Structure 1
Amino acid sequence: MIRRLLLATGLLVLSLSATAGTWGTGSFDNDDAADFLLDATKQADVQQLRSALERATSEGFLEAPDGAYAIASAEMVAAAMGKPTAEASKNAEVGDWVVRVHPKVDPSLAAEAVRALDRVLGDESELRQVWAESEEYDAWRGGVIALRDRIAALGSRSPK
């Protein structure tokens, strides 16, 4: 009887851990962003990033997955502009993609990334609402603001 109970408990734990998602304050520390990154780094251009950023800046309520895609896209934009964050630098897929693709980021894409991150941080963002209920909200918000400010500074530089 005890053995059956232990076996059942073990299977329940395995089942729960198999369905539990990844969730952390980093830009790629959730399942949506990780899945997006996997797909985006298979591409040979920035079109998937642009599409994700455009979805995030469209009218209406911003769903959590689209917010996560926008953050991951913005990370890749910063990396493509030659100034990856620490978060992107520790992610081999981002670095490999930049080296392989040599993506070109025009000023409109950088501006779209800034607008998308503003929406992620806004009142009509499910991702922000979820994080606002967390003890780690300030850390998450600070990371998004730092990414936004980095891209804004890079985008405001005039070409030489």
Structure 2
Amino acid sequence: MGTWDIGPFDNDTAADFSSTVDEAPEERKADVLLAAFREVIETGDDYLDSDLAVEAVAAAALVAAQLPGGTPVTTPYGPDQAIPPLPAALRPEAVAALDRVLAKDSELLELWEESDGEEWKAGVLHLRAVLAAAMA
């Protein structure tokens, strides 16, 4: 995986995921995000591949961007097309996926921990906080 910074879209896998989101019809974009969350959640206690985790983090960033306290996705590596208003039902799925990304047996977490990824982890925790606040 080529990674150049700590943001949700600052790696090759997330940039490719952005293309997948762009290629989906507007009415199916939420389904693409939900699929990314569910793939991560459904790993349970099994080892979580970093590519799946990266896609879930990027998807969570897209959901959080529409919420108070969320950061707009302005990077050129994010989706080119506007994301329609997303259903509130995605928020708990996103939180559960981020919790899994930050749990044991997560390759992405391990990779960041090897390179002093506290700033990356703080960014993921911020996404989670924005999503959780919107569920309250």
TM-score range, shorter chain: 0.7 to 0.9
Q: Which residue of 2 aligns with 1:5?
A: none
Q: 1:82 to 1:97 in 2, by over 3 A?
A: farther
Higher helix share: 1
Is 1:105 the counterpart of 2:87? The answer is: yes
CA displacement at 1:95 relative to structure 2: 7.5
Runs (5+) with no aligned partner, structure 1: 1-19
Q: Which residue of 1 aligns with 2:40?
A: 56
CA displacement at 1:120 relative to structure 2: 0.6
Amino acid in structure 2 at the alignment position of 1:22: T
Hey, which bits of structure 1, 4+ residues long, moved more than 3 A? 80-84, 92-96
Contact 1:63 1:127 in 2 (8 A): yes
TM-score (norm 1): 0.73
Tell me how far apart the structure 2 counterparts of residues 91 and 21 of structure 1 sit (CA, whole Å).
16
TM-score (norm 2): 0.85
Is 1:23 the counterpart of 2:23? The answer is: no
Tell me how far apart the structure 2 counterparts of residues 32 and 94 of structure 1 sit (CA, whole Å).
13
The sequence identity of aligned pairs, in percent, is: 35
Larger radius of gyration: 1
Q: Which residue of 2 aligns with 1:140?
A: 120
Amino acid in structure 2 at the alignment position of 1:67: A
C-alpha RMSD of the superposition: 2.0
Is 1:46 the counterpart of 2:27? The answer is: no
Map residues 65-104 of structure 1 onto 2, 5 A cutoff. 65-81=51-67, 84-85=70-71, 88=73, 90-91=74-75, 93-94=78-79, 96-98=81-83, 102-104=84-86
Tell me how many residue pairs correspond in the alignment: 130
Runs (5+) with no aligned partner, structure 2: none
CA displacement at 1:109 relative to structure 2: 1.3
The higher-RCO structure (CA 8 Å, 6+ apart) is 2
Contact 2:40 2:56 in 1 (8 A): yes
Contact 1:114 1:151 in 2 (8 A): yes
Q: 1:77 to 1:46 in 2, by over 3 A?
A: same
